[in-house]
Amino acid sequence: MALLMETRLILRKVKDLRCVAVRWSRVKPKWATTRPKFPATRLALHQFDVTYGSQLSALWPSVRVALLCEKKYGALINNFSHHDVMAELQLQGCKDFITDTAPAADSQSQDPERGGEEVSQSDLQTTSDTSIHSSIKCLVFPRGDISRFKAARPDSDGLLGYYLMDAASVLPCLALDVRAGHSVLDLCAAPGGKALAIMQTYDLGFLCVNDSSASRTMRLRRVLQSYIPKDQLSDTKLHVCSFDGTMFGDVERNSFDRVLVDVPCTTDRLSVTEDDNNIFSKNRAGERKRLPQLQAALLLSGILTARPGGEIVYSTCSLSRQQNQGVVEQAAHLALQEHGIHTQIVDLKPLTQRFSNTFHFAPGLSAGEMVVPHLAANFGPIYMCKLRRLT
């Protein structure tokens, strides 16, 4: 009798498990149908294979692999913090790529890693100063070292010792060449890494950091509060605002010595690695197609805000020729045709030569310079082009 009762109990449990299995089998296909057939990351990679495969040619396969791998970070040192993080990071093998550099060989017209291809920008009329503002410091691990930085710790005043960012993102700030007393505009400042880099120069005359999105501006304020002393944040030399960047040139024309225009873009690395809020999602197709138009409007606005003789640095985190050189050419044309403003491209080759041991640069661009991802130095992509306003 006991054996019979035990058998019935086992059969009942088996029956219950079958019911659960049936319910699961009914639900599982339903869940599967809600998943996108072609994830945004897959759509982005396919698009990049088509466009960048043609644009970068033999360079694309290595860039593609690096894009899909974990990127390297740099630690932007916060000079306002009391922590001696420089010494701490140097003990871990890091170096400040800005000051601890050995310029590449004198003859830089040919790069053996680029197959001896001639790299020339003979149409450029002027070259940038090779001096670098020494108060900006960014530490990186050596080439090929994929160690991760630990999270920064707050000092006694609650200020963090360093800000983690793509080290290549510091290059547009260096190209901006901020000098004592300059008035500076960061037109699309959120989340705030480049604004922090600019603020490390100490001797700014005035800094305006702007972002058109109210939520992103709130994030920008939180970043600044984590790194900048309260008295500096309340200083009249710093102004944080949330204004439509495309209209900034209408209200602040001829106002700034230096303008940074780090525009929204396809953010190529995130586009191939993160599906969440991906710009290649089908519901963002229209926004993606309008990007070059928005970028050109922002750069034009930046040109208008600069004083005659002032300089503007345009930057993206995309490899796209349409979003990079194409936007620079379009904005310069609009500035001349619609406003009578002449601009001149400033040669950034001295800057890229100085840092060629840290970053890999794309060869032969018609305008500007671009850091391309590489497994040994997986920074970027970062494109930058410097314009000088002549009239």
Helix (H) or strand (E) holding 6: helix 2-34
Q: Kindly name the residue from 94, 208, 317, 385 that is annotated as catalytic.
A: 317
Tell which residue, 89, 41, 85, has the closest CA to residue 67: 41
314, 302 in Cβ contact below 8 A? yes
Output the DSSP codes for 66-108: HHTSPPP-EEEE-TTSSS-HHHHHHHTT-EETTTS-----S--
Count of beta carbons in the 10 Å neighbourhood of residue 275: 16
Q: Return the percent helix, strand and coil in the chain, to nearest 5.
A: 40, 20, 40
**Cα 386 from Cα 315, distance rounded (Å):** 9
Count of beta carbons in the 10 Å neighbourhood of residue 100: 14
**Cα 358 from Cα 382, distance rounded (Å):** 14
**Has 317 been annotated as catalytic?**
yes
| Cis ω before 191 (30° cut-off from 0) | yes
Structure tokens at 308: 């005659």
**Cα 327 from Cα 356, distance rounded (Å):** 25
**Cα 55 from Cα 51, distance rounded (Å):** 6
List residues bridging with 383 in a β-sheet: 316, 370
157, 82 in Cβ contact below 8 A? yes
Which residues, including other chains, have CB under 8 Å from residue 196's CB and lie 6 or more apart? 76, 78, 163, 223, 224, 227, 228
**How far is Cα of residue 164 from the mean position of the Cα atoms in its chain?**
12
Residues designated as active site: 317
